Structure 1
Amino acid sequence: MIFKETKIDGAFVIEIEKLTDKRGFFARGYCEKEFKEQGILFEAVQANIGYNKFKHTIRGLHYQVKPHAEAKLVRCVKGEVWDVIVDVRPESPTYKQWLGVELTENNHTMLFIPEGCAHGYQTLVDNTEIYYMVSAFYAPEAEQGIRWDDQAFNIEWRETEQIFISDKDQKWENYNSSPQKV
């Protein structure tokens, strides 16, 4: 795997190293040893699948607070997404910065999201599916979120006029107007 540091402290874009032959390719999608060599302590306890029927669906921005904070390793297995993270760790040197990465079924790129970062994505085509591993079990009482269009971050989504978004995600408060936890 090829780990590329991003502008968000502790977040990495990860490219696979393909062993190719006439049948196709084989690649490692996760290796605890290689992650540790990069200084990433990540132990997956749960894996989630998100399927989205329509192009321009936005899910997020979500995160869980301590002691249930979670790191994520995200990959798009069908279609294309604009995957976005926002650093909401007040002690972080990249606090309130955001990062967007295009993850597709063809580029096989993954995004490692450290604890304390909100996560969301927008589908770029119909019938898109993501697969991601998390380091903590889902705990509803620890769930937090911020609005996808919060002016505190000015995230550059790919489409903002004709989107599909859940009522729950539409109702998250703006980050600066609500007491946030990390």
Structure 2
Amino acid sequence: MIFHKTPLETARLIELEKRGDARGFFARFFCEKEFAAEGLTTRFVQVNNSLSAKKGTLRGMHYQLPPAAETKLVRCIRGAFWDVIVDLRPDSPSFGKWYGAELSAENRLMMYVPHGFAHGFITLTEDAEALYMVDAFYAPEGERGLRWNDPAIGIQWPIAPEEISDKDQKWPDLDAGFHGLERMRGLL
């Protein structure tokens, strides 16, 4: 794997190193030794799969508060989506900043989303499918979300959303109390 640093502290865009021949290729999706050498999470407890049928479906911006904060490793396995992360860790030099990248079945890029980051994506194709590993179990009491179009964050989505759940439309703009920013201290 090739680990590319992003402008956001501790987040990575990961490229698979393909070894191939006339039959096709082989590549590692995850290797504990390689992740540990990068100082990244090496223990995942769930693998989740989502399918968005329509192009323009926006999911996000989601995260969980400590002690159930999640690290995610996200990959597109069918179609394409534009993946976005926002650093919500008050101690981080990249606090309040966002980063986005296209993940597709074709480019096989993965987004490493550290603890303390909100995460979401918008589908660029019909039938876009995501596979992602998380290092914490779902904890409904710690679930939070950030409004996808919060002007203080200024995410520049590549296309206009066509589908957004009621829940995702109702997340508030960045607010220290609701978003539990004090609980995010020390997650670097």
Q: TM-score range by the shorter chain?
A: over 0.9
Cα 1:7–1:174 shift into 2, 3 Å: same
The residue that corresponds to 2:46 in the other structure is 46
Structure 1 equivalent of residue 20 of structure 2? 20
Q: Aligned partners of 1:42, 1:137: CA distance in 2, in Å?
A: 15
Aligned to 1:166: 165
Identity %: 50
> 2:67, 2:42 → 1: CA distance?
15
SS in 1 for 2:175: helix
Are the aligned partners of 2:46 and 2:133 in contact in 1 as well (CA < 8 Å)?
yes
Give the structure 1 partner of residue 145 of structure 2: 145
- TM-score (normalizing by structure 1): 0.97
Q: CA deviation at 1:177?
A: 7.6
Counterpart position of 1:36: 36
Bigger CA drift: 35-44 or 74-83?
Answer: 35-44
CA apart distance, 1:154: 0.6
Runs of 4+ in 1 over 4 A off after TM superposition: none
Q: Give distance in 2, aligned partners of 1:168 and 1:180.
A: 15
CA distance in 1, matches of 2:44, 2:91: 25
Between the aligned partners of 1:65 and 1:92, the Cα distance in structure 2 is 16
Q: Which residue of 2 aligns with 1:111?
A: 111
CA displacement 1:70-122 (0-9 Å, x = unmatched): 00000000000000000011111100000001000000111101000000000
SS in 2 for 1:176: coil
- Structure 1, gaps ≥5 residues long: none
Checking the alignment, whether the CA contact within 8 Å between 1:71 and 1:114 is kept in structure 2 is yes
SS at match of 1:33: helix
Residue in 1 aligned with 2:175?
A: 176
Give the equivalent residue in structure 2 for 1:57: 57
SS of aligned partner of 1:75: strand
Distance 1:13 1:64 in 2: 21
CA distances 1:112-164 after superposition (whole Å, capped 9, x unpaired): 0100000000000101000000010000001010110101111010122x510
In the aligned structure 2, how far is the partner of 1:177 from the partner of 1:17?
Answer: 40
Contact preservation (8 Å) 1:86, 1:118 = yes
Secondary structure of 1:141's aligned partner: helix
Give the root-mean-square deviation of aligned CA atoms. Answer: 1.1
Kept in 1, the 8 Å contact 2:62–2:143? The answer is yes
Gaps of 5+ in 2: none
Alignment deviations for residues 9-48 of structure 1 (CA, whole Å, 9 cap, x no partner) = 1100100111111111100010011001011133110010
Tell me if the contact between 2:49 and 2:131 (Cα under 8 Å) persists in the aligned partners.
yes
CA contact (8 A) 1:152 1:176 kept: no
- Separation in 2, partners of 1:179, 1:149: 17
